[in-house]
Structure 1
Amino acid sequence: MPVTALLSAKSSGVTASALALTLASKRPSLLAECDPAGGTIRAGFLQGHVTAGYGLYHLAAAERTSSVALANAFANHLWSMDAAGHRKLLPGLTDPAQAAALSRTWPALSEVMHVLADEAGYDVVIDAGRLALEAGHLHPTLTPAPLIHQADLVLLVVRGTDQSLALTKHVINPLRTELAELGTGADALGLLLIEEGPYRAHQVTDVLKTPVLAALPFDSDTANYLTNGGRPPRGYNRSPLLRHARTAMEQFEAAASRRSIQQQYPPRPANPQLAGVLQRLTDSQGGMRG
């Protein structure tokens, strides 16, 4: 299953989109909230039920011990977002000052995520936050650059408005170049369109010279619930946002599969120790909270 990173040129609904995709997936799924500016799901969608004792920041110390320690910490810091435990969250940072401690953790965390996707069959969605560039490259502290480099798909979330298109247009080429030089290839880059504003998918593709891989409707009631929590709106499970998000996940899987075939990527080297640790996520809910 693919590892998909979502980010934006400016606030465009990355977190709400990532939540919708994760919750709507037909397969076991994980949302990793890796925005260095800090996570919002803990205080928003989860209404403060997850304390600062859980989450991304705690993986930094484990990574300094070993990759297996990191995998164990990763498994123990996930939060179940449904009763069956099929939708999991790695809560984000509670303080942006914590981001610097993760600079050497990102590459190992990327490996853990890919093992979870490849060996345990999870859809993995990364909320990478707002795109930050320094001298034309991804900022080493303000972005989780290694996660973006190694993702199967990198999706810029964009709205169909003049403002969003104008902001996104300036980051497309630097990001495409970065993925060509340091990532899995420029063709990993695509767009996730939020259908707010006058521009449709084909028009956005023409303006930004980048394919729209999926589109999500502007469903304000559901998006507000995913952003702020509280009581779900009436008909939430059948809402336009979740229905289209389910289709989008299938489209992402197909796009990642096409890339793999076209690029003829060699299989990633197996890591039996990591696979053993993460396989327990599918066998048991031990260590999970929800």
Structure 2
Amino acid sequence: MPVTALVSAKSCGVTTSALALTLSSNRPSLLAECDPAGGTVRAGIMQGQVTAGYGLYHLAAAERTGADALAGAFASHLWPLDAAGQRKLLPGLTDPAQAAALGRTWPALSEIMHVLSEEAGYDVFIDAGRVALESGRLHTTLTPAPLLYQADLVLMVVRGTEQSLTLARHLITPLRAELAEHGSGADALGLLLIEDGPSRAHQVAEALKAPVLAALPWDAGTAGYLSNGGRPPRGYGLRSPLLRHARTATENFEAAASRRHIQRQYPARPANPQLSGVLARLSQNHGGGKRG
């Protein structure tokens, strides 16, 4: 299953899209909230259930102890998004000032995510937030660059509006160049279109010179619930337009990632025995309620 990173030029619904994809996948799934600007899921759909004692920031200290400590911390800091525990959340930062501590943690965290994807069959979605550049390169603190470099797919989330396309147009070329130089290749970059605005998928692809790998409908009720929590709207669930199309999108991403692997004949990722404990820990059901 692919590791898919979602980014944007500005607030275009990255977190809401990542949540929709995670909740609608046919497979076990993980949303890793890795936006250096801070996470929003705690205060949104989770309605404050997840305390600051859980989440991404705590992995930095564990990584300094070693790979096994990081693997254990990663497993213990996941929070269930459903009653069965098949959909999990790695909560994000509570303070953007914490981002600087994660610079050396990103590569090891990426490896764990690929273990989940390749050995446990998880769909892994990374909310990487807004792309930040410095002298034409990915900013080393404001963007989790190693996660993008190692992802199977990097999706620029855009809306079908002229404003959104204009902002994204300035980032597509440097991001593609960064993936070509440091990542798995320029062809890892694709677009996820939010159908809000007059431009259709083919027009967006032409404007940004990148393929639209999936499109999600503008579903204000479901999107509002995923962003803010509260009472689910009528018809919420896999019958809702957003989640129904998100399920199709996850299949599109798997097919796109598989094509890339075949075309490039990627060698198998070498196993890391220090990370084997991750799978054992994640096989345990964490339950759906609040943990003490």
Matched, 1:253 2:254: yes
> Could you tell me whether the CA contact under 8 Å between 1:116 and 1:275 is conserved in 2?
no
Once the two structures are TM-superposed, the CA of residue 289 in structure 1 deviates from its matched residue by 5.3
The separation in 2 between residues aligned to 1:283 and 1:260, in whole angstroms, is 30
> Could you tell me whether the CA contact under 8 Å between 1:37 and 1:129 is conserved in 2?
yes
Matched, 1:70 2:83: no
> Could you tell me whether the CA contact under 8 Å between 1:42 and 1:48 is conserved in 2?
yes
Matched ranges for 1:237-248 at <5 A:
237=237, 238-248=239-249
Name the residue aligned to 1:16: 16
Amino acid corresponding to residue 126 of structure 2 in structure 1: I
Once the two structures are TM-superposed, the CA of residue 280 in structure 1 deviates from its matched residue by 2.7
The separation in 1 between residues aligned to 2:81 and 2:31, in whole angstroms, is 10
Once the two structures are TM-superposed, the CA of residue 275 in structure 1 deviates from its matched residue by 2.4
Once the two structures are TM-superposed, the CA of residue 272 in structure 1 deviates from its matched residue by 2.3
Matched, 1:225 2:225: yes
Once the two structures are TM-superposed, the CA of residue 286 in structure 1 deviates from its matched residue by 8.2
Name the residue aligned to 2:200: 200
Report the CA distance shift for 1:181/1:28 in structure 2 as closer, same or farther (over 3 A): same
Matched ranges for 1:79-118 at <5 A:
79-118=79-118
Matched, 1:262 2:263: yes
> Could you tell me whether the CA contact under 8 Å between 2:35 and 2:130 is conserved in 1?
yes
Matched, 1:166 2:184: no
> Could you tell me whether the CA contact under 8 Å between 1:76 and 1:287 is conserved in 2?
no
Residue 64 of structure 1 aligns to a residue whose secondary structure is helix
Residue 58 of structure 1 aligns to a residue whose secondary structure is helix
The separation in 2 between residues aligned to 1:35 and 1:250, in whole angstroms, is 24
Name the residue aligned to 2:124: 124
Once the two structures are TM-superposed, the CA of residue 45 in structure 1 deviates from its matched residue by 1.0
Which structure 2 residue ranges, 5 or more long, are not aligned?
Answer: none
The separation in 2 between residues aligned to 1:283 and 1:45, in whole angstroms, is 24
**57-66 vs 280-289, greater mean Cα deviation:** 280-289
The separation in 2 between residues aligned to 1:182 and 1:158, in whole angstroms, is 24
> Could you tell me whether the CA contact under 8 Å between 2:160 and 2:193 is conserved in 1?
yes
Amino acid corresponding to residue 247 of structure 1 in structure 2: T
What TM-score does the superposition give when structure 2 sets the normalisation length?
0.97
The separation in 2 between residues aligned to 1:185 and 1:235, in whole angstroms, is 40
Q: RMSD over aligned Cα, in angstroms?
A: 1.3
> Could you tell me whether the CA contact under 8 Å between 1:52 and 1:94 is conserved in 2?
yes
The separation in 2 between residues aligned to 1:133 and 1:125, in whole angstroms, is 22
The separation in 1 between residues aligned to 2:21 and 2:287, in whole angstroms, is 25
The separation in 1 between residues aligned to 2:280 and 2:259, in whole angstroms, is 26
> Could you tell me whether the CA contact under 8 Å between 2:81 and 2:288 is conserved in 1?
no
**Structure 1 runs, 4 residues or longer, greater than 6 Å off:** none
The separation in 2 between residues aligned to 1:279 and 1:247, in whole angstroms, is 29
Name the residue aligned to 1:271: 272
Name the residue aligned to 2:45: 45
The separation in 2 between residues aligned to 1:74 and 1:192, in whole angstroms, is 28
The separation in 2 between residues aligned to 1:277 and 1:87, in whole angstroms, is 16
The separation in 1 between residues aligned to 2:188 and 2:64, in whole angstroms, is 30
The separation in 1 between residues aligned to 2:21 and 2:288, in whole angstroms, is 24
Once the two structures are TM-superposed, the CA of residue 129 in structure 1 deviates from its matched residue by 0.3
Residue 23 of structure 2 aligns to a residue whose secondary structure is helix
Report the CA distance shift for 1:288/1:2 in structure 2 as closer, same or farther (over 3 A): farther
Deviations 1:160-191 (A, max 9, x none): 00000000000000000000000010000000
Aligned length: 290
Residue 65 of structure 2 aligns to a residue whose secondary structure is coil
Report the CA distance shift for 1:265/1:275 in structure 2 as closer, same or farther (over 3 A): same
Deviations 1:13-32 (A, max 9, x none): 00000000000000000000
Report the CA distance shift for 1:167/1:117 in structure 2 as closer, same or farther (over 3 A): same
Once the two structures are TM-superposed, the CA of residue 288 in structure 1 deviates from its matched residue by 9.1
> Could you tell me whether the CA contact under 8 Å between 2:225 and 2:233 is conserved in 1?
yes
Residue 230 of structure 1 aligns to a residue whose secondary structure is coil
Residue 236 of structure 1 aligns to a residue whose secondary structure is coil
> Could you tell me whether the CA contact under 8 Å between 1:34 and 1:93 is conserved in 2?
yes
> Could you tell me whether the CA contact under 8 Å between 1:4 and 1:151 is conserved in 2?
yes
Percent identity of paired positions between Structure 1 and Structure 2: 78
